[in-house]
A = this chain, B = another copy of it.
Amino acid sequence: MNAALNHQVRLAARPQGLPKPTDWEHTSEPVGEPGEGEILVKTLYLSLDPAMRGWMNDQRSYVPPVGIGEVMRAGGVGEVIASRHPGFAEGDHVNGILNAQEYAVVAGDGATKVDPSLAPLPVYLDALGITGMTAYFGLLDVGQAKEGDTVVVSGAAGAVGNVTGQIARIKGCRVIGIAGGEEKCRWLTEDLGFDAAIDYKGGDVGAGLREHAPKGVNVFFDNVGGEILDEVLARLAPKARVVICGAISQYNTETGFRGPQNYMMLLVVRARMEGFVVFDYRDRYAEAAGEIAGWLQSGELQAREDVVEGGIEVFPETLLKLFNGENTGKLVLKVADG
């Protein structure tokens, strides 16, 4: 018997625009018991991702929408506190879909063991987790980035964006990040080794691209959509690849999603625009994680997590940091001490 309570954050209503406090419900229930093949995990850190906003809409997507009244879907890392799966023991640390709650009962087959002695736990939600996998496969497999390519990344100071740009640099590409604000841009160029950064809040993105990518853009890794996508489409090089990873500028729109007006540039320069979902690369995560771990160890790649304290209660307000430009690096919510 476990008398502890499991505090949870559930979706109460489908948001219009930015999620409001009333779109959420805070509940608690007794901590569950793992069934055969399952493990009980104490949530330590949750990953906060722009994609979550899409999961809150009732629309066709690559995963079903979160239902009204359901615990909000979220990836996380935690500690196994009870196991009925032969692959896990109490005290193990795991990465999986734990959802916005303090304790999760999950299928052992859906969890992955992680080693906190090799990297701090939040890194397993960042460069060594879905964030890193997204950057790696989106850039190298979908985008086919090659040495010498000019790669532009939007949302470049965000979680996926900064890792994408760093991988592009490591692979010998010329890397230009687009981000909001001088401080983020400075971080990209001074700390992370981007060749250039364009501050979309402070300047003209088109002019920045003309200056920094005079021969055009070979790979555009887009996390943002909207006007920035149109600006880059107008500057594509022949046979360019536009990788559609996200469209954070449009997720909270209340006036209708903006499509890329300049999409006919795909014809002009014989380019392609392609979407992907990282889960399709599940069988190759180990390959990517191995390479990324090497770069982290050598210092070639820096992981930066923006860890917010406050426990599960502050999940709703923390999520908003993704959409108001406050966040740099990977946004992580600390739910409990390990």
Contact = CB atoms under 8 A, between A and B. Distances in A.
Interface of A: 60-62, 225, 230, 234, 244-247, 250, 256-277, 280
A138 to B, nearest CB: 10
Contact of A273 (B62, B258, B266, B268): B266
Nearest to A60: B268
Contacts of A274: 266, 270-273
Copies of this polypeptide in the complex: 2
Nearest to A235: B60
A5 to B, nearest CB: 37
Nearest to A242: B273
B275 A264 contact: yes
A49 to B, nearest CB: 14
B270 A272 contact: no
Nearest to A250: B264
A277 B271 CA distance: 10
Given A244-B266, A247-B264, A256-B261, 4 more contacts: A62-B268, A62-B269, A259-B259, A259-B262
Contacts of A61: 268
A246 to B, nearest CB: 8
Given A256-B261, A260-B259, A267 B230 contact: no
A262 B244 CA distance: 12
A20 to B, nearest CB: 23
Contacts of A250: 264
Interface centre among A246, A247, A274, A276 (most CB of B within 10 A): A274
Contacts of A280: 270
A215 B247 CA distance: 27
Contacts of A264: 225, 244, 247, 250, 257, 275
A43 to B, nearest CB: 28
A224 to B, nearest CB: 12
A264 B276 CA distance: 10
Contacts of A256: 261
Contacts of A246: 267
23 contacts: A61-B268, A230-B259, A244-B264, A245-B267, A256-B261, A257-B264, A259-B260, A260-B263, A263-B263, A263-B273, A264-B275, A266-B273, A266-B274, A267-B276, A268-B275, A268-B277, A270-B276, A270-B277, A270-B280, A271-B275, A272-B273, A272-B275, A273-B274
